[in-house]
Each structure stands twice: as structure tokens, then as C-alpha cells.
């Protein structure tokens, strides 16, 4: 067993939220009971995740996407009221870490995605160095279509591919979630392909005009790995039970 404050300190010590400029509060977002025995991790603090955590008798929920973001108008109604009501009624703590969870060198979303796909990281790029550079452990993919097939098979999610220049894919850049805005900096880094969760209108043109393939493999699908890795690590440190619940999301 650990206290809520001990759990918060462990997360903060590992993820160092004060080092990031973010658009949400990283850390404890909703206070629940003081004594913690079981932590449930997930991607987003959705009603479905909270209900599943209640069913598993969790004392704390750890997520990448919490409840409170910049621009929140302070009105607690609708879906926000429903989620908060469940947490408060069952005295469950909610911990959320956004960019700090993306960035952690071993347990974060980008590191874990790379490990899952057997990529070897060798650098960082972009704002706050959140983007990762590297190469496949095999040395290369035959082409961008082969890379897309690897993503689809491993992540069990469809991939949007905008083809760049033909030929082998050796140098990769990636950033999980909604990081399509990092594409231009990835191009400048000299990669053959950029992988993220989402695509917006401009990226298709950049890919075709600059010869760098763009692959969108799903926001949720690309960010399923950091939260359970961090929560399991901290739970082990503190002697707590941990479980990961993946709430299906087509995004």
C-alpha cells in the first residue's frame, strides 16, 4: 500500500512535469482516497475507463489524456459532470500526464512505440524535443508500403499512407498522437518517412512535394503503450497492483 501523495511524488519524480510547457495540468487532477492499493492505467479518462476501473476496485487511474485542458470554461455539465461524478462517488484518484508521458526516454509513448515496432532511436527533434529519430532494427523497409503493413499488423489499426519518393525506407521520424505539425521538421531532419497518429490537409502535399512518406497510424493506437509502462513501473516500485484497460477507439 502507498499513500496518494507517495504515488504522486513517484509519478512526478519519474516524468518531471515541471520541465514541460503543456496545455493541461500534469499530475493529480481529481483527489480520491488517501490509501492506494491498485492503479488502473488507460489512454483517456473516458467514462468507459472510469467505469471499468470501478469494476476492478481501483484506487487510482493513470492516463495520458485527462479531464482538464487549456480553454476549459469551468462549467461542469454533460460528459464532464458524468465522469467527475463517477470518480468522486467512488473516491478514485485521477492522475494525468500529457507531454511528460510522451517524452520519457524509456517508458514514454514515443519510446514504447519504437520498442514495440523494433525501431532503434538515435536522436530527437522538434518543439521540446518530443519527436524521435531512428531506424528499423532490420536496417530498412523495402518501401513505405512495407512500413505501413508493419504498422497495421503490429498496432492492429489501419494506416493512412501518403507516399513520398519510392525506394527503401531507412531513416524514420515519429511522434505519437496528434503530431502532424512536426512533419516539416522531420523533413528537415532528412528522414525517409514520418509516423504519427493523425493527418491534416497540408501533410499530403508536403509528402508528395518533398519526397518524404507520411503515415498516420491512429492517435489512440499510437499512444497505448506509455501509460501502462509508466504505471506498471511505479506500481512495482511502491508494491501496488496494476492493470491496463484499453478502451477501444477508432481514432
Q: Dump pLDDT digits (tens) for 6-40.
A: 999 999 999 999 999 999 999 999 999 999 999 99
Global pTM value: 0.97
Structural domain count of the chain: 2
229 and 218 within one domain: no
DSSP state of 24: B
Cβ–Cβ under 8 Å, residues 238 and 10: yes
Residue 194's CB: how many other CB atoms inside 10 A?
Answer: 29
**Residues 231, 214 share a domain:** no
Nearest to 180 by CA among 146, 228, 223, 131: 131
The count of residues in the chain is 251
* Residue ranges with strand state E in the chain: 2-3, 27-30, 35-36, 38-44, 60-65, 93-96, 119-125, 131-136, 160-162, 172-174, 193-196, 213-216, 241-244
Looking at residue 63, the DSSP 8-state letter turns out to be E
Count CA atoms within 13 Å of residue 153 on its CB side.
7
Quote the CA–CA distance of 111 and 175 in Å, as a whole number.
9
CB 44 within 8 A of CB 249: yes
Q: Do 140 and 198 fall within a single domain?
A: yes
State pLDDT tens for residues 36-81. Answer: 999 999 999 999 999 999 999 999 999 999 999 999 999 999 999 9
Residue 210 shares a structural domain with residue 118 = yes
d(CA 101, CA 170): 27
pLDDT at 32: 99
CATH assignment at residue 69: 3.40.1390.30
**% of residues, the chain, pLDDT over 70:** 100
Residue 250 lies in a domain: no
SS3 174: strand
Phi–psi pair at 211, nearest 5 degrees: 80, 15
CA–CA distances in Å: residue 35 to residues 4, 85, 169: 6, 20, 50
Check residue 238 and give its pLDDT. 99
Tens digit of each residue's pLDDT (9 = 90 or more) over 155-174:
999 999 999 999 999 999 99
Q: Residue 41's pLDDT is what?
A: 99
Residue 249 lies in a domain: no
Domain that holds residue 164: 109-222
Amino acid at each position: 500500500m502507498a499513500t496518494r501523495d507517495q504515488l504522486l511524488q513517484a509519478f512526478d519524480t519519474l516524468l518531471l512535469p515541471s520541465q514541460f510547457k503543456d496545455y493541461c495540468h500534469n499530475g493529480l487532477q481529481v483527489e480520491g482516497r488517501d490509501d492506494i492499493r491498485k492503479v488502473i492505467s488507460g489512454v483517456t479518462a473516458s467514462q468507459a475507463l472510469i467505469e471499468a476501473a470501478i469494476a476492478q476496485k481501483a484506487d487510482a487511474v493513470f492516463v495520458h489524456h485527462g479531464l482538464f485542458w487549456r480553454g476549459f470554461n469551468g462549467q461542469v455539465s454533460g460528459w464532464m459532470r458524468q465522469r467527475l461524478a463517477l470518480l468522486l462517488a467512488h473516491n478514485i484518484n485521477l492522475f494525468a500526464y500529457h507531454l511528460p508521458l510522451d517524452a520519457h526516454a524509456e517508458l514514454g509513448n514515443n519510446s514504447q512505440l519504437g520498442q514495440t515496432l523494433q525501431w532503434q532511436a538515435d536522436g530527437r527533434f522538434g518543439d521540446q524535443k518530443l519527436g524521435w529519430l531512428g531506424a528499423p532494427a532490420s536496417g530498412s523497409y523495402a518501401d513505405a508500403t512495407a512500413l505501413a503493413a508493419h504498422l497495421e499488423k503490429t498496432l492492429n489499426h489501419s494506416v493512412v499512407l501518403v507516399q513520398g519518393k519510392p525506394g527503401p525506407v531507412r531513416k524514420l521520424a515519429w511522434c505519437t498522437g496528434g503530431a502532424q505539425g512536426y512533419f516539416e521538421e522531420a523533413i528537415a531532419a532528412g528522414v525517409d518517412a514520418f509516423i504519427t497518429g493523425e493527418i491534416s490537409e497540408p501533410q499530403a502535399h508536403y509528402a508528395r512535394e518533398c519526397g518524404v512518406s507520411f503515415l498516420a497510424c491512429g492517435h489512440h493506437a499510437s499512444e497505448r503503450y506509455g501509460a501502462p509502462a509508466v504505471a506498471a513501473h511505479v506500481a512495482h516500485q511502491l508494491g501496488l497492483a496494476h492493470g491496463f484497460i484499453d478502451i477501444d477507439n477508432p481514432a
